[in-house]
């Protein structure tokens, strides 16, 4: 038996209390009967783990390639849902100061890092389409401090 608006919940027991006009619904521990969707979620989780490794290694190689160039990067990280589609990825590279960020723009370091990031992703197994559509972004620790008081979560949300 399915009640309107309940969707994918399997109804194991419905108890009607006529005098209160209420009912109780219990369901098994899996809140869906759609096993194909559950399988898709498991496979997506495996793809995400694999792609996270690809992205992490690619970014580490980029950082190693520019280690002697000035200004120096202070950190790097990424986030996204690349298992859904590889375009859903943002790679961030941070400089210590706004002045360093500006210098990196002027001397071509930012454009080189962006180009190398995309190339390393493709070399590592990312699709060409995904590498072209993902975002490579830059900022400074100083900008984060100035705009959000150093709250990285608020800055990058």
16 falls within a domain: no
Residue at 12 is within a domain: no
* Nearest one of 141, 138, 152 to 106, comparing CA atoms: 138
Distance CA 88, CA 79 (A): 8
Provide the sign of the torsion angle of the four alpha carbons 104, 109, 115, 118, taken in this order. negative
* CA–CA separation, 69 and 125 (whole Å): 27
Is 22 a domain residue? no
Q: Which two tokens stand for residue 5?
A: 């608006």
pTM for the model stands at 0.77
pLDDT at 38: 87
Residue 27 lies in a domain: no
Per-residue tens of pLDDT for the chain, all 157 residues: 444 444 444 444 444 444 444 444 444 545 556 888 888 889 999 999 999 999 999 999 999 999 999 999 999 999 999 999 999 999 999 999 999 999 999 999 999 999 999 999 999 999 999 999 999 999 999 999 999 999 999 999 8
In a domain, 140, yes or no: yes
**Contact predicate 129/87, CB 8 Å:** yes
Is residue 139 situated within a structural domain? Answer: yes
Rounded to whole angstroms, the Cα distance separating 149 from 114 reads 27
In a domain, 8, yes or no: no
Is residue 128, in this structure, part of any structural domain at all? yes
Residue burial 6-37, b: 16+ Cβ < 10 Å; e: rest: eeebeeeeeeeeeeeeeeeeeeeeeeeeeeee
Domain range for 93 is 35-156
| pLDDT on residue 141 | 97
> How many domains does the chain fold into?
1
Close Cβ partners of 84 (under 8 Å, ≥ 6 residues apart): 44
């Amino acid at each position: 038996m399915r009640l309107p608006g309940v969707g994918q919940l399997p109804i194991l027991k419905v108890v009607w209390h006529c005098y209160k006009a209420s009912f109780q619904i219990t369901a098994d521990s899996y809140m869906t009967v759609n096993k194909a969707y559950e399988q898709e979620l498991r496979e997506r989780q495996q793809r995400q783990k694999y792609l996270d490794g690809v992205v992490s290694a690619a970014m580490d190689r980029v950082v190693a390639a520019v280690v002697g160039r000035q200004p120096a990067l202070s950190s790097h990280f990424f986030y996204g849902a690349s298992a859904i589609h590889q375009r859903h990825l943002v790679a961030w590279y941070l400089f210590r100061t706004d002045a360093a960020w500006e210098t990196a723009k002027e001397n071509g370091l930012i454009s080189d890092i962006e180009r190398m990031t995309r190339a390393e992703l493709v070399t590592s197994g990312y699709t060409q389409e995904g590498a072209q559509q993902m975002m490579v972004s830059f900022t400074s620790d100083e900008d984060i401090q100035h705009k959000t008081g150093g709250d990285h979560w608020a800055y990058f949300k």
